[in-house]
């Protein structure tokens, strides 16, 4: 964590990243043959960073229940590294970040891409219609095991996060301040709730105040961590549109709720749809269809199988007859019992019978 000195001092993210690429260990910066190559400004920054009492800083983070991870840590979101200027360090408060890269459904036999990180963004000046539409769609995502990502701003962010928390949906909030600065202060209760049951993420050290630059910067993190971005309500210009455009450039799936043509607060959403940059979205199922999330339902079916059902299901790795299955499970399952197990797997929608009186998986 010695590299963290540079971040705590205030060195720019890209400068830290370049140094970390060139030098394997922080101590190498101060080797005489290396240090003499740096310009006076960099030498001054390095010397000043060494004056920081890191033991005291780490204790401060612990007292504030803040964890720090680097881009080299396993918990660091893999998708976030796809953006050009990804943060070298992330400051986290709350639960560990969930890795949705892949979920193995049936041991090592079936692997399914499982994209379930969905950002919900929108204007702070949300209308009643926008809030209701946002709440409706988030409610409908509860069946799909998603993780919802948003900011902690007023308006759409607040509606999305509160609805997700009420429904037990996993939540991540990316903020534009240090994790000890609650902003906006009116959201302090939501902030505390997020820290207990979700995860709050920042790229800024403790004590960092909100500025006009920190919030646009955090939008790239929201886009980077997401598989899809739902714009619930947005004016023609604003942070939500910035996030959507960033996501579009990263090949993320973009979704937008359409609004009345005479509502300025929906002009951004309508333009995204009109320009074929976003899928018109009126329900949670529109997002599920795009990602083939019906596979999640099959996953839950597999988790509920009895031991004998699991044994039979695992034998059907290709098209097989009843006799072939019976031969494989011989000594474990009787013939009469096998008939009922196969019938149960068919009823549960996990296998089907082909024209040749054979059985094959359908998940």
pLDDT for position 301: 60
**pLDDT, the chain, mean:** 89
Measured over the CA atoms of residue 86, residue 88, residue 90 and residue 95, the dihedral's sign is positive
pLDDT for position 191: 95
Topology annotation, domain 102-294: Rossmann fold (3.40.50)
State the architecture of 305-361 in CATH terms.
Orthogonal Bundle (1.10)
The answer to whether 161 and 150 have CB atoms below 8 angstroms apart is yes
Domains of the chain by residue range:
1-52, 102-294, 305-361
pLDDT for position 114: 60
pLDDT, one tens digit per residue, over 174-228 is: 999 999 999 999 999 999 999 999 999 999 999 999 998 899 899 999 999 999 9
Low-confidence ranges of the chain (pLDDT < 50): 100-113, 295, 298
Per CATH, 102-294 and 305-361 having the same topology is answered no
């Amino acid at each position: 964590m010695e590299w963290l000195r540079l971040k705590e001092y205030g060195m720019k993210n890209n400068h830290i990243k370049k140094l970390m690429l060139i030098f394997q260990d922080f101590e190498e910066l101060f080797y005489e043959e290396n240090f003499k190559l740096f310009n006076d400004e960099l030498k001054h920054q390095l010397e000043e960073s060494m004056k920081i009492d890191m033991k005291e800083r780490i204790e401060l983070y612990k007292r504030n229940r803040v964890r720090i991870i680097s881009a080299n840590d396993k918990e660091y979101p893999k998708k976030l590294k796809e953006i050009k200027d990804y943060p070298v360090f992330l400051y986290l408060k709350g639960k560990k970040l969930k890795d949705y890269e892949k979920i193995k459904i049936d041991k090592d036999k079936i692997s399914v891409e499982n994209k379930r990180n969905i950002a919900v963004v929108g204007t702070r000046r949300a209308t009643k219609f926008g809030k209701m539409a946002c709440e409706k769609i988030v409610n409908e995502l509860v069946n799909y095991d998603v993780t919802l990502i948003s900011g902690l701003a007023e308006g759409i962010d607040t509606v999305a996060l509160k609805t997700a928390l009420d429904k037990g949906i996993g939540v991540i909030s990316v903020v534009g301040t240090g994790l000890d600065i609650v902003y906006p202060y009116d959201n302090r209760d939501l902030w505390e709730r997020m820290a207990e049951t979700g995860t709050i993420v920042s790229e800024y050290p403790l004590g960092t105040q909100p500025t006009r630059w920190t919030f646009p910067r955090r939008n790239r993190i929201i886009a980077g961590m997401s598989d899809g971005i739902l714009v619930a309500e947005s004016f023609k210009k604003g942070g939500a549109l910035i996030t959507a455009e960033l996501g579009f450039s990263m090949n993320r799936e973009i979704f937008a709720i359409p609004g009345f043509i005479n509502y300025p607060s929906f002009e951004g959403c309508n333009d995204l749809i009109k320009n074929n940059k976003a899928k018109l979205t009126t329900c949670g199922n529109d997002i599920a269809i795009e990602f083939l999330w019906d596979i999640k339902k099959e996953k839950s079916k597999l988790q509920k199988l009895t031991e004998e059902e699991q044994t039979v299901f695992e034998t059907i790795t290709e098209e097989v007859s009843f006799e072939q299955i019976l031969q494989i499970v011989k000594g474990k399952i009787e013939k009469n019992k096998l008939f009922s197990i196969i019938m149960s797997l068919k009823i549960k929608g996990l296998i089907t019978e082909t024209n040749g009186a054979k059985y094959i998986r359908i998940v």
